[in-house]
Amino acid sequence: MTADTSLIRFGVFGDNRGSLIALENGHNLPFDVKRVYYIYGTKEGVSRGFHAHRKLKQMLIAVRGSVTVKCEYGDRKKEYTLNRPDEGLLIEGLVWREMHDFSPDCVLVVLADEYYSESDYIRDYETFLKENGK
């Protein structure tokens, strides 16, 4: 799987009552979802992540608040600010990711195409650099 990251904007159903977003496999979600988790109540100054996955596809959505996501793969280093519920960050393949600057109200929803598996994690940065081949 080629490592890649991209922002995806979701269509919003909005009317005078407010807004609604629907995510559907194969439509605005480019993978079948097997797992959903969310990170919230992150304490001030705390950063999370600091790992890569070998194969996983994930979509990160700050449904409330904001967070900065740093991604590294191949020769690339990218930094994204997620701060709107109609935008998702797609992360595929061998990407080192770190999450910083969580706002106190941040709720970060993560959709994944596989079940939780510790064997798919690379938690050691030096190991990531070796597997990244750079």
Ramachandran angles phi, psi of 84, nearest 5°: -150, 140
The one-character DSSP state at 94 is S
Between residues 51 and 84, which has the closer beta carbon with respect to ligand TYD?
A: 51
When binding is defined by CB under 6 A, the residue of 6, 116, 124, 127 that contacts ligand TYD is 116
Q: How many residues contact ligand TYD, by CB under 6 A?
A: 6
Per CB under 6 A, contacts with ligand TYD among 49-68 are 49, 51
Asked if 35 touches ligand TYD (CB under 6 A), the answer is yes
Element (H, E) at 132: helix 125-132
Q: Which residues lie closer than 8 Å to 89 by C-beta, 6 or more apart?
A: 5, 6, 7, 8, 59, 60, 61, 69, 80, 82
Asked if 38 touches ligand TYD (CB under 6 A), the answer is no
- The residue type found at 131 is E
Asked if 100 touches ligand TYD (CB under 6 A), the answer is no
Span interacting with ligand TYD, options 7-15, 25-33, 47-55, 61-69, rule CB under 6 A: 47-55
Q: Which residues lie closer than 8 Å to 134 by C-beta, 6 or more apart?
A: 74, 75
Tell me whether residue 100 is one of the annotated catalytic residues. no
Binding positions for ligand TYD, rule: CB under 6 A = 35, 37, 48-49, 51, 116
